[in-house]
Amino acid sequence: MIITDSIFRKYAELIVRTGANVQPGQVVQLTISVEQHEFAAMVTEACYQAGAKKVNIDWTCDAVSRANFLYADQEVLSKVLPWEEAKQQQMVEDLPCRIFVVSEDPDAMNGVDPEKLSAVAQSRARVLKPYRNAIDGRHQWAIAAYPSEKWAQKCFPGAADAVDRLWDAILKTVRVTEDNDPVAEWKAHTDFLEEKAAWLNAQGFSSMHYTSANGTNFTVDLIPGAKWAGAGDVNPLNGAFYIPNMPTEEIFTSPVAGKCEGTLVAVKPLSWNSQIIDGFSITFENGRAVSCHAEKGQALLERMLHMDEGAGMLGEVALVPKESPVNQCGFLFYETLFDENACCHCAVGMGFKEVLPDGNDLTMEQAKERGINDSIIHVDFMVGADDLSIDGIRPDGSTEAVFRNGTWA
């Protein structure tokens, strides 16, 4: 596909109006790499055309982040400065519509001490988490992607047209072409996901059992009354429907924190803190990760699962059929936004109180009492092998096939 200016603008418009669904009078917080400044201008213009009151930009830069971690003291990096807290407090007051455009180099932090990365993230998250809790479920947000040269080269090593090939894949997964109507296609897609979610909700499953020849044998309890959710969500303060992830192929819920047993085997590498964990599995007993093994990134995986009290428990289970357009691209994106939408996945860490019937009205402490996991992290990892089977188990012991051979039964 030739990436024309009109396609760029169609994509920016899709992110703003269908993904984040910016409403007149809203403040927008855009997070994007300095490399993508031209696209940032397009997104900003689209936000104003949608009626945004003000667009604020948080610029990111892999090279600067790497230099900080290589040369600055851990104590300095860990400290959240007063102006940073003031900025977070302003976000709590504004409840901005947030747009994240990811383009990070998956290898940006190679050679950086993983202990330092994790310790800094842990220290900062403790301070910033209350602000995150204060806006969760009360604002719109969307994550989309723009390929960088280094990200593209990671996906297609040595290819002269790596960026073009990654663009083709991204636009395919977000349903953007020169002559189509992506808004209509997204409407049909979200309708399909909502139909599947409605079917799951009607079954009343109390637990799910996963099996695969690779060693996955796992059972997880579900929260009574918690809903399975599809592609989109609604901001309860203004009624705006938004799509947090573009692309998205998942139907998800938050299980009971601390109630799962067995082993989950990952089928794709995980990029966490800009470092790769690969060939790994996690074993749970009494709802908590008790052991893990990784061919690459063992220390990083162990650190991740001990970031805080909730990091070793599940916060999400999500169903994605192997026919997903992301999976059909046939390569690993090294970016969770895409790879989690290639196949079924689970997440350790923070759960979603929004899946509870009255979740948006609950404090995090109240949500925890109802079974939602709490943590400073939320990390998705992919478990959807081609032969994955998932059975739903009802309170009376009866079962229903949900997935067979990696897709809907």
Domain presence at residue 178: no
383 and 234: one domain? Answer: yes
Q: Which range of residues forms the domain containing residue 109?
A: 5-173
Query: Does the pLDDT at position 274 exceed 80?
Result: no
Both tokens assigned to 156: 């297609």
> Cα separations (Å) of 175 from 11, 16, 17, 180, 229?
9, 15, 15, 8, 21
- The CATH number given to whatever domain includes residue 38 is 3.40.1830.10
Provide the mean pLDDT of the chain: 95
Euclidean distance between CA atoms 4 and 404, whole angstroms:
41
Query: Does the pLDDT at position 108 exceed 80?
Result: yes
Domain presence at residue 388: yes
User: Residue 361 in 3-state DSSP?
Assistant: helix
Q: Scan for tokens 């009109």, then name that residue.
A: 6
User: Residue 397 in 3-state DSSP?
Assistant: coil
403 and 272: one domain? Answer: yes
* Closest C-alpha to 220, from 267, 266, 262, 280: 262
Domain presence at residue 354: yes
Domain presence at residue 330: yes
189 and 325: one domain? Answer: yes
Bridge partners of residue 255, in order along the sequence: 222
Residues 6+ apart with CB under 8 A from 167: 1, 3, 147
Euclidean distance between CA atoms 220 and 218, whole angstroms:
7
211 and 126: one domain? Answer: no
* Closest C-alpha to 274, from 335, 315, 347: 335
- What is the pLDDT at residue 359? 87
16 and 140: one domain? Answer: yes
Domain count, the chain: 2
Both tokens assigned to 221: 């309890």
Q: Evaluate the omega torsion of the peptide bond into residue 247 and state whether it is cis, within 30 degrees of 0.
A: yes
CB atoms within 10 A of CB 141: 20
Euclidean distance between CA atoms 223 and 370, whole angstroms:
8
Bridge partners of residue 317, in order along the sequence: 253, 346
Under 8 Å between Cβ of 232 and 243 = yes
**Helices (H) then strands (E): counts for the chain:** 13, 19
Cα–Cα–Cα angle for 291, 295, 301, rounded to 5 degrees: 45
Both tokens assigned to 127: 């301070």
- What is the pLDDT at residue 105? 93
Give the pLDDT confidence of 357-402 residue by residue, as tens digits: 998 888 889 999 999 999 999 999 999 999 999 999 999 999 999 9
Euclidean distance between CA atoms 31 and 57, whole angstroms:
6
Euclidean distance between CA atoms 259 and 315, whole angstroms:
11
> Do the bridges between strand 314-319 and strand 345-349 make them parallel or antiparallel, or are there none, so unpaired?
antiparallel
Residues 6+ apart with CB under 8 A from 279: 266, 269, 294, 295, 296
123 and 266: one domain? Answer: no
- What is the pLDDT at residue 71? 97
User: Residue 63 in 3-state DSSP?
Assistant: helix
Give the pLDDT confidence of 247-265 residue by residue, as tens digits: 999 999 999 999 999 999 9
Determine which helix (DSSP H) or strand (DSSP E) holds 317, and give its type and residue range: strand 314-319
Both tokens assigned to 254: 């938050």
The residue out of 173, 199, 221 marking a domain boundary is 173
Give the pLDDT confidence of 78-94 residue by residue, as tens digits: 999 999 999 999 999 99
Euclidean distance between CA atoms 285 and 289, whole angstroms:
6
279 and 389: one domain? Answer: yes
Euclidean distance between CA atoms 206 and 214, whole angstroms:
25
The residue out of 145, 173, 201 marking a domain boundary is 173
- What is the pLDDT at residue 1? 64
169 and 196: one domain? Answer: no
187 and 150: one domain? Answer: no
Above pLDDT 90, what percent of the chain? 91
150 and 227: one domain? Answer: no
- What is the pLDDT at residue 3? 81
Bridge partners of residue 211, in order along the sequence: 217, 389
190 and 166: one domain? Answer: no
Under 8 Å between Cβ of 321 and 406 = yes
48 and 192: one domain? Answer: no
Domain presence at residue 81: yes
Domain presence at residue 312: yes
The residue out of 173, 198, 221 marking a domain boundary is 173
